[in-house]
Amino acid sequence: MKPRVGILISGRGSNMQALIRAAAQSGYPAEIALVLSNRSDAPGLEIARRHGIAAQAIPSRDFRADRATHEAQMTHALDAAGCTIVCLAGYMRLLTPYFVQHWAGRMLNIHPALLPAFPGLDTHARALAAGIKIHGCTVHLVTETMDDGPILAQAAVPVLPDDTAQTLGDRVLAQEHIIFPMALSHHISGQSVPAESTAALVSPCA
């Protein structure tokens, strides 16, 4: 039986959709069993259901500052669905050390920057402000430090002279949709992502 994956989202869920599409291929080594959101208005929930995936909101605002109880409910839902791996796909809530330790080595995150550069929010605007020429995205294992942890895959894109945060972000997002399913697949199979599959994405600037 393929390992069952739970995806945590907070919003539109385009990375979630990329994972669902990849897992629909017969040779993919994982099954998407459940999508959870900490926001009941996350558009990704309905998209998941349209793909036939169970999707549930466990609104964090119902728990206010009580992260531990919120996460206990999420763990309960993940366990009930038989999930043994968690993917954070635009999940925008800090996790407690307890939750991180519970899923240690089994929880992947996608971040829209080439970590360790630009952890946190507004990565594309900050990348433009810093004047960097190469930007990208990272899939990594989650540790107790935000946007930190062993890197599983990265993809790079050029920063073009007339880029806005939107155009740069769109270019990065297209790569996120490629490397997240790839990194999950390789992680489950116990392989590292071959460097040549992600390193060659930068094309020269105009």
Catalytic positions: 111
176 sits near ligand GAR (criterion: CB under 6 A): yes
Size of the site for ligand GAR (CB under 6 A): 15
Binding mask 144-163 for ligand GAR (x = CB under 6 A): ---x----------------
DSSP type of residue 134: E
110 binds ligand GAR (CB under 6 A): yes
Out of 6, 90, 136, 158, point to the residue binding ligand GAR (CB under 6 A).
Answer: 90
Q: Shortest CA distance to 75 belongs to which of 105, 95, 52?
A: 95
Rounded least distance, CB 1 to ligand GAR, Å: 27
Nearer to ligand GAR, 27 or 169 (CB): 169
- Verify binding: residue 71, ligand GAR, rule CB under 6 A: no
**Beta-strand (E) ranges in 10-69?**
31-37, 54-57
**The binder of ligand GAR chosen from 19, 45, 86, 89 (CB under 6 A):** 89
Q: Beginning with the edge strand found earlier in the chain, give each strand of the sheet holding 4-9 in spatial order.
A: 54-57, 31-37, 4-9, 83-88, 107-111, 134-141, 151-158
* 119 neighbors 113 (Cβ within 8 angstroms): yes
- Segment contacting ligand GAR by CB under 6 A, of 7-15, 65-73, 74-82, 148-156: 7-15
Task: Say which residues have a Cβ less than 8 Å from residue 195's Cβ, sequence separation at least 6.
Answer: none
Contact, 157 vs 201, CB < 8 A? yes
Minimum CB distance to ligand GAR smaller for 53 or for 206 = 53
User: What residues pair up with 163 in beta bridges, in sequence order?
Assistant: none
Listed ranges 55-63, 93-101, 108-116, 159-167: which one lies at the site for ligand GAR (CB under 6 A): 108-116
Closer residue to ligand GAR (CB): 89 or 193: 89
**Cβ neighbours of residue 13 under 8 Å, at least 6 residues apart?**
35, 42, 43, 44, 45, 47, 48, 89, 90
State which residue, 94 or 206, has the beta carbon closest to ligand GAR. Answer: 94
Q: What distance in Å separates the CA atoms of residue 201 and residue 169, rounded to the nearest whole number?
A: 15
Q: Does 13 bind ligand GAR (CB under 6 A)?
A: yes
Which residues of the chain form contacts with ligand GAR (CB under 6 A)? 9, 11-15, 44, 89-90, 110-112, 147, 173, 176
